[in-house]
Structure 1
Amino acid sequence: MILFNYETDFKLKNEHEIQQWISKCIEVYGFSEGEINYIFCDDAYLLKLNKEFLKHDTLTDIISFDYTLGKLLSGDIFISVERVMENAKKLSQIFDNELNRVVIHGILHYIGFTDKTKEAKDKMREEEDKCLALIT
């Protein structure tokens, strides 16, 4: 079950379509959907989590807590809407496109993709693009 929660005034316009798309991506990789919670928040909210749990004093667009067991994907994915907006501007991207990239980024981490090295980042971007191509 994919749930969307809001700690800011932002709200997805098309929750059902996004849920279906995430489910399709999970299936493509041979995983099953457990309980996945998306929490949309602002920079201050996510910075607090970043400091408290990861000991990082930096802004970020996403933090994911992975509770996956085997092939059953579960976890909490926190997304700073403010950071996604800023990144979209910097990258000359449409906000919704950048948001979708970040939304699926957390799922790809649960599946096992990382982004700690240049090669891993390139692979992660490739997988994000594959998933983005599945949006209907």
Structure 2
Amino acid sequence: MQVQFFFLVDNISLVSRTALKQYIPGIFKKEKKKLQSLTYIFCSDDYLLEINRTHLKHDFYTDIITFDLSETKDNIIGEIYISTDRVRDNAATLGTSIKEELHRVIFHGALHLCGYKDKTPKEAKTMRTAEDRCLKLYFK
């Protein structure tokens, strides 16, 4: 299992990276999924907007895009792009810390790769519950 973090921006800090790299595979294990490789790329709004336009044909800003690159369902390989600009704005809008919002989005992407969806209100509620569980366990 390999979890990597790459920063294309320097406007956000991710402390305790080693602890996070050790925690994330446990999300997959709990969901009975096998993680082979997961790469997080932290980028700007404009960078993620271009990915959104090019790959998803969406013309709007978003905080996260998750790509499942797995060849089989038994061996998950993923890339997760996170806009640090959106994380900062969302934290201010939601009245939470940047640290909490950043970790929520990190876990959100992993949960997508585990099969969680968030398109319908019911799916979004289930996703939010799973995110809250991950946050609680990580920060206990």
- Smaller-chain TM-score range? over 0.9
Q: Which residue of 1 aligns with 2:110?
A: 107
Equivalent runs, 1:48-87 vs 2, <5 Å: 48-68=50-70, 69-87=72-90
1:12 CA drift (Å) = 1.8
Kindly state the Cα deviation for residue 11 of structure 1 after the two structures are TM-superposed.
Answer: 4.2
The residue aligned with 2:93 is: 90
Aligned pairs for 1:34-45 (under 5 A) are 34-45=36-47
- Root mean square deviation, CA, Å: 1.1
**Structure 2 residue identity aligned to 1:67:** L
SS in 2 for 1:108: helix
Identity within the alignment, % = 38
Aligned length: 136
Residues 39-90 of structure 1: CA deviation (Å, up to 9, x unaligned): 0001010001001001111000000111232232211000000100000000
Alpha-carbon distance in structure 1 between the residues aligned to 2:99 and 2:112:
20
Return 5+ residue gaps in structure 2 as ranges: none
- Greater shift in the superposed pair: 18-27 or 88-97: 18-27
The reply to whether residue 6 of structure 1 matches residue 7 of structure 2 is yes
1:116 aligned partner: 119
The answer to whether the 8 Å contact 1:40/1:78 transfers is: yes
Matched to 2:118, the amino acid is: D
- Counterpart CA distance in 1 for 2:73 and 2:48 is 28
SS at match of 2:137: coil
Distance 1:71 1:125 in 2: 25
Q: Give the structure-1-normalised TM-score.
A: 0.95
Secondary structure in structure 2 of the residue aligned to 1:40 = strand
Checking the alignment, whether the CA contact within 8 Å between 2:27 and 2:111 is kept in structure 1 is no
CA distance in 1, matches of 2:108, 2:80: 10
- Deviation track 1:91-130 (CA, whole Å, cap 9, x = no partner) reads 0001111111100111111111101100000011011111
Match of 1:2, SS state, is: strand
The CA distance in 2 between the partners of 1:132 and 1:67, in whole Å, is 25
Deviation above 6 Å: which 4+ runs of structure 1? none
